[in-house]
Amino acid sequence: MNPQHGSSLLSEPIDRRNFLVRTTSAAIGTVASGVAFGAERPPAVRPRPEVVAIYCPLWHRYDHMDAWHGYGWNEWELLKTAPPRFPGHHQPLRPSWGCFDESDPQWAGREIALAADHNIDVFLFDWYWYSGVRLMEEALEKGFLKSPNRKRLKFALMWANHDWADYFPVPYDKPWNSWLPLRHSAADLTRVFDYCIDHYFRQTNYWKVDGRLFFSVFAPDKFIKDLGGAAEVRALLATLDRKLERAKLSPAHWNAMTASPQAVARFQEAGFRSTTSYNHANTGKTSPDLTQDYEDLITTHTKIWKAMSDTALPHCPVVTMGWDVTPRCEHSVPWPFAKTNYPYTHVVLGNTPERFGHLCKLAAEFATADAKRPPAVFINAWNEWTEGCYLLPEEKYGTAYLAAVKQVFGR
């Protein structure tokens, strides 16, 4: 989705401008509905965690990109022209549905049906707000929320609170063209919640965790620092809960995206109630040809989940489908890249549907076994095509990744 997303092994999600270093199980089902009289009652089995697919809303025409790159331009253009970088490199990707307009409610309805039919419960929309300037909200507001079958899926927001720049493609050896800086303030955060109350929080299918409106923050460290520290943020979040109460709405469940166990105590002090990560894309084992293996990425995931499970807040595991950001790179830069800065980084190979399904199963088992009961497993991503993370059908494997999700997360 955007080049600031990602998290490294046992570390905070880092600024990618500096470099991203970023079947069915018995334990997952629900309790049987009836027990014979006199029979020994089986031990209670927790309901399976909800399944949240991260949704990257880049794939439609919107005014700001018209002004920056020309009318109608969007990242489909990068995807269509991405060259293969080495023998066997699966580029360009070929989405089975073609380059469709996600802000069209008919297309959004098709996405909703596909996700719901494969046991996905929630779309978590990457959401962009720059002091009142919004980007790419059309996918949610004109597409998803206008779709006739929208009630089949819940939705929530992840505030992508980072600067926005020209990543299309990213210049290899010169400064990026910065378009919109992100500035936090108490007054602006109040405006954020005013907008969300008017447009999202009253929707009957807005996702709630423990009765609270789920709201995730991509860069919680920046959020806390800019707003004056953990104590100041906690007081501000309490003020926002009172605003929600006056609007006859539930309080907020604040979620921090992080893979740093050391940061969790500060996030808890600031009023966050859970953590997750955007993705885990680096094994730390890069071959000379600048590739990494998905089997090693599975190990990376489980190590991070374990480290995060020892913290004070429930941690929702994320499952990363893949990693290949070469569509965002300048075509003229030879492979392998001599300098490794996002998006000029490694490519993950071997992320087959079978391996992805195995990682989903491990995530479900982790979430079910954790005493702090994380409410969900997150999947990166539904449609992050230019970062190589997608569940939507593509020519090579079709809907096989979705089939893996459906098998693991049975109703």
Confirm whether 15 is domain-assigned: no
Q: What is the pLDDT of residue 315?
A: 98
Confirm whether 223 is domain-assigned: yes
> Is 50 exceeded by the pLDDT of residue 160?
yes
* Residue-number span of the structural domain to which 207 is assigned: 50-408
> Is 50 exceeded by the pLDDT of residue 6?
no
Q: What is the pLDDT of residue 92?
A: 98
What is the tens place of the pLDDT at every residue in 62-96? 999 999 999 999 999 999 999 999 999 999 999 99
> Is 90 exceeded by the pLDDT of residue 128?
yes
> Is 60 exceeded by the pLDDT of residue 37?
no
Name the phi and psi angles at 302, rounded to 5: -65, -35
What is the tens place of the pLDDT at every residue in 188-235? 999 999 999 999 999 999 999 999 999 999 999 999 999 999 999 999
Sign of CA dihedral 335, 338, 343, 347: positive
- Ranking 21-35, 49-63, 222-236 by mean pLDDT, the lowest is 21-35
Q: What is the pLDDT of residue 4?
A: 45
Q: What is the pLDDT of residue 175?
A: 87
First to last CA, the chain: 29
Q: What is the pLDDT of residue 36?
A: 34
Q: What is the pLDDT of residue 45?
A: 61
Q: What is the pLDDT of residue 167?
A: 85
Query: For the chain, what percent of residues have pLDDT higher than 70?
Result: 89
Confirm whether 148 is domain-assigned: yes
Report d(CA 147, CA 339) in Å as an integer.
44
Q: What is the pLDDT of residue 28?
A: 30
> Is 90 exceeded by the pLDDT of residue 360?
yes
State how far Cα 288 lies from the chain centre.
29
Q: What is the pLDDT of residue 44?
A: 53
Confirm whether 18 is domain-assigned: no
Average pLDDT over residues 343-371: 97
Query: If you search the block for the tokens 């109630």, which residue do you land on?
Result: 273
Average pLDDT over residues 286-314: 98
Report d(CA 309, CA 248) in Å as an integer.
34
- Whether 48 and 364 have beta carbons less than 8 Å apart is answered as yes
Region of 67 (left: φ > 0; alpha: ψ -120 to 50; beta: rest) is: alpha
> Is 90 exceeded by the pLDDT of residue 387?
yes
Q: What is the pLDDT of residue 138?
A: 98
Angle between helices 230-246 and 186-196 (to 10 degrees): 30
Q: How many domains does the chain have?
A: 1
Q: What is the pLDDT of residue 176?
A: 86
Q: Tell me what the pLDDT averaged over the chain comes to.
A: 91
Q: Is the peptide bond before 220 cis (omega within 30 degrees of 0)?
A: no
Q: What is the pLDDT of residue 7?
A: 41
Q: What is the pLDDT of residue 68?
A: 93
Confirm whether 295 is domain-assigned: yes
Confirm whether 25 is domain-assigned: no
* Burial (0-12, 13-18, 19+ Cβ within 10 Å), 69: middle
The single-letter code of the amino acid at 26 is A
> Is 80 exceeded by the pLDDT of residue 8?
no
Q: What is the pLDDT of residue 94?
A: 98
What is the tens place of the pLDDT at every residue in 390-408? 999 999 999 999 999 999 9
What's the CATH code of the domain at 165?
3.20.20.80
Q: In terms of Cα–Cα distance, which of 267, 272, 252 is closest to 206?
A: 252
Beta strand pairing call for 347-349 and 50-55: unpaired
pLDDT grade, residue 21 (50/70/90)? very low
Average pLDDT over residues 334-349: 96
Confirm whether 242 is domain-assigned: yes
pLDDT grade, residue 174 (50/70/90)? confident
What is the tens place of the pLDDT at every residue in 363-378? 999 999 999 999 999 9
- Whether 218 and 5 have beta carbons less than 8 Å apart is answered as yes
Query: For the chain, what percent of residues have pLDDT higher than 90?
Result: 86
Q: What is the pLDDT of residue 83?
A: 98
> Is 50 exceeded by the pLDDT of residue 100?
yes
Confirm whether 128 is domain-assigned: yes
Angle 162-391-296 (CA atoms, 0-180°, nearest 5)? Answer: 80
